[in-house]
Structure 1
Amino acid sequence: MSEQRSPSPRGYPFGEAVALDVDPLYAKLRREEPVLRVGCPFGDDAWLVTTYADMKTILGDRRFSRALAAEHDESRLTPLPIHTSILGMDPPDHTRLRRLLTKVFTTRRVELLRPRLEGEAHRLIDGLLAQGPPADLMEGFAVPFAGTVVCDLLGVPFEDRERFRGWLDAFSATTVMTEEEVEADTERLHGYIAQLMGSRRARPRDDLISAMVEASDKEDRLSEKELVELATVLLIAGHETVSSQLVDSLFVLFTHPGQLDLLKHRPELMPTAVEELLRYVPLISHVTFARYATEDVELSGTLVRAGESVLPAIPSANRDESVFENADRFDLTREHNPHLGFGYGIHRCLGAPLARLEMRVALETLFARLPGMRCAVPPGSLEWKDGMQVRSLLSLPATW
């Protein structure tokens, strides 16, 4: 076991994320230095973890805590620590909040949303056809498709999206916003959610925000701050994360025409295709939230001492050759695919069943209605959002 500490931690991230490329340095680190001491732009130094096996340990082992981040200057890429709500808790607080949401995101209940999703997909494609090619699949399909779903579920008026959408960037901005801008937009979004909760308290509806307010008021299960931050996290995940995953997945399919043709000829492959897209797309540019060791733990021969933090690099774990054969190849027939696209352990994404269904319905409907759909410009000319933790195209022009 190594206890050696680097005299000067390596600067992280190693470079700007380029399109959907995964930095080749991760493969070298997995082989030679799977646990590396790094210094991020903000917060304390940390251990960067790059292998799949170590990733499952730090995400699933109770010896690693998310809640302890609140007691430290968390290693991070954002100017301010992010209000992570349930994602920043350990049991029993985490259990208390997750129990409230678990019944909403069961596979059975999510499947009941399929007609609503299919109807929305067809409505948006009707709009694309009426407009004619080329059309932007980001603003013309992915954003309204994902946004409508999560807004309906939560009870957020979709027509308010022009007000709140810009505020969502404050939660994943790394270099494109100042500390003051992040703080101001965070306060605006929290204020907007708080107003919605006040209106639901006066006039409840059949939506998740109303259910959360009722649980808080009648059962004293959530504080007002917990309510606001939890609803905010759900809105961000359902709106920005899903729309980015969808448009990035379309980009991958367009740039792998052989795989796309296979999917069109064998639509029964869609479930495995969705899983492969979730693995292959490095949606998080670099690392997810830090975990803190509550006792000394060995990871790949390196001792992580109690109180030290580790940073999980999910894009690296999903390309680990010891788990995924030909890990850098996009293969929609891949059968063994235990990817970490939704995380792992107690913080595994609650909305995974819904995200999977959204992906399936969106892709199935798009390629059924527009079988000749393809990128309208050279892929290398497309522009990507800079300075954000979530990778996403600014637009995806398509023709058919």
Structure 2
Amino acid sequence: MTTVPDLPDATEALEHFPFDDGRGIEVNERFKELRQREGLLRVRLAYGEPTWLVTRYADARLVLGDARFSRAMSVGRDFPRQEEATDLAGLITMDAPEHTRLRTLLLKALSRSRIEAQRPTVHAAADDLLSSAMAAGPGMDIVVDYAQRMSVLSICDLLGVPVSDREVFESTSAALMPGSAVGHEDMMRRFGALQACTERLIAERRARPRDDLMSAMVQARDEEDRLTDTELIDLVVSMLLARFEAIITQIPNCVYVLTRGDRALWNRLRANPAELPAAVEELLRNNASAGAGLFVRYAREDVNVGGTLVRAGEALTVAIESANHDPARFEDPDAIDFTRPPGGHLTFGYGAHYCVGAQLGRIDLQEGLRVLLTRTPELTVRDITWRERPHIRGPEAMRVTWQGGPE
């Protein structure tokens, strides 16, 4: 039966989401109760208008995958979000047919063979970073010294950014780090430098193509259609942001989960490295890292979602961490089980907006973890500073040591 709720008055206090301060990656217990109740909960995020909270797996797939729910309607609105800024741009803010066009062209360039060919390079970069850290001392901040630098090296190598230009990418990445003291004006300056650098690289690849993603993106065509320079620049910036979120967040999160307690998961992967791909999938499902407000949609028309009639023009926020722990989809969802059948989790999204770089993210995680498991078997987490009320949940800093480090 469809529930038509009495919507709260604009002045009435709504429950705030997320339900905690965002520190850590444990899934909030409140989701269990919400998945069992009929209908959706009306909540408010730190900024923006009220939103319906989607917590069940089936409802999440509906909202993420059905064309009756729009990302483009967020543009120009006071959409639900965790951060004050309201600037939205790029592929993630589009609906069909514009989104379909850009996604089709990008996928022509970002082929599976090109992505898989990155694996040896990603592994070598991670290995070099760990060697540098080991030469400097018996420990490192795995967020800044390993994951952040790996994210920049990964995207620069894929795009074909020369070493002389990589400082621009590193500077922008550093400004995005949680706790960064970079102000708005400095941030805009860095983004401007990144855009100028990308524009120059596009011109060079158009004149002299190479075997890299930038050249492939410049040459990608669908009949007579191709990406404009502005679209290319926006896609490069979006890819840098995506690498930041995937690698800088997930490598520390995975290390934290694998090494806590009796270290059984860490030791299992050391003994059985062939399980690493399955382990990465299960950790992506298990970790509550997707920040509140990342998966906002607007209803184009009245739609029944989970027993609630969502009116046209109303916002919905999908709680990916809850959907990924829904017992209606995953048996014993709170357990970490590397033998769980593959597929199904929504960490990379679903439907038309499923992350085009998901496979590259998997390779980055697999190889980044593989190097740590192989070369630092006694790696231990010594100290963690968690981000508070973050866009993406994870450590702001995480100090690790290995054999020979201080006790």
TM-score where L is the length of structure 2: 0.86
Residue ranges of structure 2 left out of the alignment (5+ in a row)? none
- In the alignment, what sits opposite 2:66? 61
The change in CA–CA distance for 1:220 and 1:335 in structure 2 (over 3 A counts) is closer
Asked if 1:113 is matched to 2:114, the reply is no
Asked if 1:302 is matched to 2:304, the reply is no
- In the alignment, what sits opposite 1:27? 32
- Code of the aligned partner of 1:305: R
Larger deviation: 296-305 or 235-244? Answer: 235-244
State how far apart, in whole Å, the 2-side matches of 1:86 and 1:41 are.
24
> Which residue among 58, 72, 80 is the counterpart of 2:77?
72
State how far apart, in whole Å, the 1-side matches of 2:312 and 2:181 are.
34
> Which residue among 395, 400, 406 is the counterpart of 1:397?
400
- In the alignment, what sits opposite 2:321? 315
The secondary structure found in structure 1 opposite 2:217 is helix
State how far apart, in whole Å, the 1-side matches of 2:339 and 2:66 are.
31
Cα shift at 1:277: 1.1
Larger deviation: 56-65 or 386-395? Answer: 386-395
The answer (yes or no) to whether the contact 1:66–1:292 under 8 Å persists in 2 is yes
The answer (yes or no) to whether the contact 1:78–1:174 under 8 Å persists in 2 is no
- In the alignment, what sits opposite 1:286? 292
Q: CA RMSD in A?
A: 3.0
> Which residue among 368, 371, 379 is the counterpart of 1:373?
379
Cα shift at 1:54: 0.6
State how far apart, in whole Å, the 1-side matches of 2:54 and 2:92 are.
19
Q: Percent identity?
A: 37
- Code of the aligned partner of 2:62: T
State how far apart, in whole Å, the 2-side matches of 1:173 and 1:148 are.
19
Aligned residues: 395
State how far apart, in whole Å, the 1-side matches of 2:162 and 2:398 are.
24
The answer (yes or no) to whether the contact 1:176–1:388 under 8 Å persists in 2 is no
> Which residue among 9, 15, 29 is the counterpart of 2:20?
15
The answer (yes or no) to whether the contact 1:259–1:332 under 8 Å persists in 2 is no
The change in CA–CA distance for 1:317 and 1:117 in structure 2 (over 3 A counts) is same
State how far apart, in whole Å, the 1-side matches of 2:129 and 2:175 are.
28
The secondary structure found in structure 2 opposite 1:81 is coil
State how far apart, in whole Å, the 1-side matches of 2:137 and 2:185 are.
42
Larger deviation: 172-181 or 80-89? Answer: 172-181
The change in CA–CA distance for 1:83 and 1:188 in structure 2 (over 3 A counts) is farther
- Code of the aligned partner of 1:371: P
Encode CA deviations 1:281-304: one digit per residue, 9 max, x unaligned: 222232313211112110111001
The answer (yes or no) to whether the contact 1:284–1:390 under 8 Å persists in 2 is yes
Residue ranges of structure 1 left out of the alignment (5+ in a row)? none
- In the alignment, what sits opposite 1:349? 355
State how far apart, in whole Å, the 2-side matches of 1:109 and 1:201 are.
19
The answer (yes or no) to whether the contact 1:105–1:354 under 8 Å persists in 2 is no
The change in CA–CA distance for 1:364 and 1:184 in structure 2 (over 3 A counts) is closer
Asked if 1:46 is matched to 2:51, the reply is yes
The answer (yes or no) to whether the contact 2:53–2:319 under 8 Å persists in 1 is yes
State how far apart, in whole Å, the 2-side matches of 1:13 and 1:170 are.
25
